[in-house]
């Protein structure tokens, strides 16, 4: 299990200074270590149940690298979410020396809903977030899972040395990039529009991994590669503050109440009637009143929403070109 070490204290931010606040997109912050998870946060499906440590490959090994993609929750709903182009990405490896296959992916510890919206717990003023994401590495590639409704295709080959260097980078990336960010937020659907915030999810991990391999010398095949993004459309975001400045003893009670009120309809629902009542509330606030409160880098932002408000896209992102001497196909 590639969660590495879960530290017993909260993380210290290693991020941008406040003077850089208006630089867009807001840089994703990295942290010094991963905080211990709260027992309140529970996942319906166990994170990385068969995970293992990344093996040390022999330098002379030649390792095939595969692009893996399948609809989100394909194991339960088949191709249902694939029709909406809501896809999950991973990367596979095959050792020529041992013949063993491996899968590496990055996903939420407590499922997507908990990473996207908080819990409003009794007796707690601030929204409570169950949000962490991490890398998972395990032996084997489930061919049926990836081939049935998705993709399993060779994209490059690398040496054992390159694999081992990538493994060290994965350790760093996993220890410092600990929070899942669902939303990409941008000014308009135009491809050249300003991006206010970038997402940090499974596909971004795969893209970072590919880029690292390219920088190490891997040469990728010229094939089309598409990835899913969930985009919110907003005017320029307004910075509101962090948990202490908003919900603390000297906080802004009016703003605190507004944020809690906004997140309330996104709670888990016990009945169909509750769901539709809250759905109308969400439509009223996001579309009719152009409001959205975003939690990013442990800070709150107000998004003045605008049409088309939300869009799921499945766009091409080319495989990378590296900077070192090449190795591979």
Place of tokens 């629902």: 269
How large is the angle between the packed helices 160-176 and 202-216, nearest 10 degrees? 140
Q: Say if CB 105 and CB 180 are below 8 A apart.
A: no
Q: Tell me which of 48, 88, 115, 136 is the catalytic residue.
A: 88
Give the phi and the psi of residue 283 in degrees, each rounded to 5.
-60, -40
Q: What pLDDT sits at residue 20?
A: 42
The span from the CA of 237 to the CA of 293, in Å, is: 10
Q: Which residues of 234-255 are buried (b: 16+ CB within 10 A; e: fewer)?
A: beebeebbbbeebbeeebeeeb
Q: Give the ranges where the chain is alpha helix by DSSP (H).
A: 74-77, 111-116, 143-149, 160-176, 202-216, 243-247, 253-263, 272-283
**Which DSSP string do the residues of 64-97 spell out, in sequence order?**
EEEEEEEETTHHHHTTTGGGGT-EEEEEEEEETT
Number of separate helices (H) and strands (E) present in the chain: 8, 15
202 counts as catalytic:
yes
**Among 319, 105, 317, which residue's Cα sits nearest to residue 226?**
317
The span from the CA of 84 to the CA of 283, in Å, is: 20
Tokens standing for residue 174: 């996993």
Q: Tell me which of 115, 130, 136, 202 is the catalytic residue.
A: 202
Q: What pLDDT sits at residue 12?
A: 38
pTM of the model: 0.89
The span from the CA of 13 to the CA of 26, in Å, is: 14
Q: Say if CB 184 and CB 197 are below 8 A apart.
A: yes
* Longest distance between any two alpha carbons in the chain, whole Å: 63
The span from the CA of 91 to the CA of 102, in Å, is: 8
Place of tokens 């596979």: 92
**Among 302, 257, 303, 262, which residue's Cα sits nearest to residue 283?**
262
CB atoms within 10 A of CB 223: 12
Could you tell me the mean pLDDT of each successive run of 10 residues in the chain, 329 residues long? Answer: 31 40 88 91 91 97 97 78 88 98 96 94 96 97 90 97 98 96 97 96 98 97 96 98 97 97 90 92 96 98 98 95 55
Q: Say if CB 209 and CB 114 are below 8 A apart.
A: no
Query: In Å, how far are 111, 114, 128, 211 from 252, measured between CA atoms?
Result: 31, 25, 18, 43
Q: What pLDDT sits at residue 211?
A: 97
Q: What pLDDT sits at residue 270?
A: 75
88 counts as catalytic:
yes
The span from the CA of 85 to the CA of 247, in Å, is: 38
């Amino acid at each position: 299990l590639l969660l590495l070490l879960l530290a017993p204290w909260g993380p210290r931010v290693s991020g941008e200074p406040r003077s850089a606040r208006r630089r867009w997109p807001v840089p994703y912050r990295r942290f010094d270590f991963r905080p211990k998870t709260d027992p309140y946060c529970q996942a319906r499906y166990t994170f990385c149940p068969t995970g293992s440590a990344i093996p040390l490959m022999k330098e002379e090994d030649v390792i095939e690298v595969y692009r893996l993609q399948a609809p989100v929750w394909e194991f339960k709903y088949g191709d249902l979410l694939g029709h909406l182009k809501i896809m999950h990405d991973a990367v596979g490896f095959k050792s020529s020396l041992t013949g063993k296959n491996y899968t590496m992916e990055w996903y939420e510890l407590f499922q997507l809903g908990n990473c996207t919206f908080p819990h409003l717990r009794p007796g707690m003023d601030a929204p409570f977030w169950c949000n962490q994401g991490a890398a998972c590495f395990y032996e084997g590639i489930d061919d049926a899972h990836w081939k049935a409704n998705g993709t399993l295709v060779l994209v490059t080959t690398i040496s054992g040395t390159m694999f081992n260097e990538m493994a060290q980078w994965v350790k760093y990336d996993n220890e410092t990039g600990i929070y899942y960010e669902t939303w990409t937020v941008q000014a308009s659907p135009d491809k050249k529009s300003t991006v206010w915030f970038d997402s940090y999810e499974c596909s971004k991990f795969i893209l970072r991994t590919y880029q690292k391999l390219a920088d190490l010398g891997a040469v990728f095949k010229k094939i089309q590669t598409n990835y899913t993004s969930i985009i919110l459309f907003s005017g320029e975001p307004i910075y509101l503050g962090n948990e202490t400045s908003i919900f603390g003893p000297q906080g802004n009670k009016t703003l605190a109440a507004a944020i809690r009120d906004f997140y309330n309809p996104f709670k888990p629902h016990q009945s169909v009637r509750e769901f539709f009542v809250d759905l109308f509330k969400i439509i009223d606030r996001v579309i009719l009143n152009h409001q959205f409160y975003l939690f990013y880098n442990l800070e709150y932002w107000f998004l003045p929403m605008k049409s088309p408000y939300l869009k799921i896209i499945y766009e091409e992102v080319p495989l990378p070109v590296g900077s070192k001497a090449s190795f591979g196909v």
